[in-house]
Amino acid sequence: MECSQVYDSVKDYYGKLLDDRNNQTCVTLGSEVSKTVREAVAAIHEEVTSKFDGCGLVIPEKLKEMKILDLGSGSGRDTFILSKLIGPEGHITGIDITEEMVAISTKFINYHRKKFGYKEANTDFVQGYIEKLREAGLKENYYDVIISNGVINLTPDKRAVLKEAYTVLKEGGEIHFRDVYADRELDCSVRKDKELWNECLSGTLYWKDLVRMAVEVGFSRPFLVSAATFVVNKEDFQRKLGDARFASVTYRLFKLPSDTDFAPAQVTYKGGIPDHEEEFKFDVKHTFKKGNAVTVTGAVAVSLKYSRFSDEFVFKPVPTDVNGTDGHKTTPDEVDLENPFDYLDKQPENGKKAEAS
């Protein structure tokens, strides 16, 4: 479809969700979800939750007093959850293309301010395109963290979204987002299917294309945080999609200094991240236990060093080995990127725990 057709279709489809009283969102709280997050989820107004079209949570760590942007905020569920986690000194903005969604999320700003005991609201919502953040009035080099929950795959220009996100992030900032990806390039017939677009399938990227786009825009290599198989149940969808596999994947990308030195480092987690005092899971390959020194690649080291996580680690040069050779410098491209589908294939029950379409 043409870009204008995609925008019109998405606005119409998601605007009508407000009229569907049977719309159900799925929030699966596993054992790894902290008490703090559970309490925040429980505090969200039921109308906001019932009108949020999504499944699961997108909640990065260490958010207190952060400035956050929620891309495709919908009815505001994730935005309000994070407004609780960042505290009264933080601020979060939600942006959505759909006028009806912005209206309903704005309606509940004061409710959540009172619920959380804040003197002033730390939340606002704007209507606009996530491909044109600055046109919507959002500031450059301003946000500490950007989140998005299953929305970027609905846009016809994902590179523009990443480029705008890069522009409004501070140096050291992170975009932490969840989306659906394919294990291959999809056929043109699938790309043009209106119904598959609205169901988050036509717009899915081949996962390797995300890596390419991120590097082109200037981000760090993508780090795979989590993945779950995206099950397509409708038979007519299955016929159109053929053998293509889909996965719901959370990635984190960082905006690093342009002159970053990608040298390996020995890092030790100090245990200061709230709700993650004993260990901090950075991605599927790196879980840092408090007090344990770990040697990591340059890509991981600089992402920790220049981000909001910097104060939570002790950084040391990689010790010289017995042959007198110290750790060689690496670039993001030298590091093996985790294929989310290979990752899922290695998980118990093939990782099939995800949302269905």
* Same domain? 159 vs 308: no
Q: Are residues 272 and 341 in the same domain?
A: no
Write out the chain's pLDDT in tens, 357 residues.
444 454 454 445 445 555 554 444 445 555 578 899 999 999 999 999 998 876 678 999 999 999 999 999 999 999 999 999 999 999 999 999 999 999 999 999 999 999 999 999 999 999 999 999 999 999 999 999 999 998 998 888 999 999 999 999 999 999 999 999 999 998 888 888 888 877 778 888 999 999 899 999 999 999 999 999 998 888 988 898 999 999 999 999 999 998 888 889 999 999 999 999 999 999 999 999 999 999 999 999 999 999 999 999 999 999 766 443 344 444 444 456 889 999 999 988 654 555 544
The pLDDT score that the predictor gives to residue 189 is 83
Whether residue 356 lies inside any domain: the answer is no
Domain span at residue 72 reads 3-258+336-351
Q: What is the pLDDT at residue 175? A: 98
Q: In this structure, are 175 and 66 located in the same domain?
A: yes
Q: How far is CA 139 from CA 85, 132, 142, 175, in A?
A: 22, 12, 6, 16
Residues 167 and 278 in one domain: no
In the block, tokens 């049977």 appear at 22
Nearest to residue 10, comparing CAs of 203, 185, 247, 179? 203
For 114, phi then psi, to 5°, come to -70, -40
pLDDT tens-digit profile of 174-210? Answer: 999 999 999 999 888 888 888 887 777 888 899 999 9
CATH number, domain of 284, equals 3.40.5.100
Q: Are residues 180 and 245 in the same domain?
A: yes
Q: What is the CATH number of the domain that holds 86?
A: 3.40.50.150
Give the pLDDT confidence score for residue 101 in this predicted structure.
Answer: 93
Q: Which of 342, 300, 329 is nearest to 208 (CA)?
A: 342
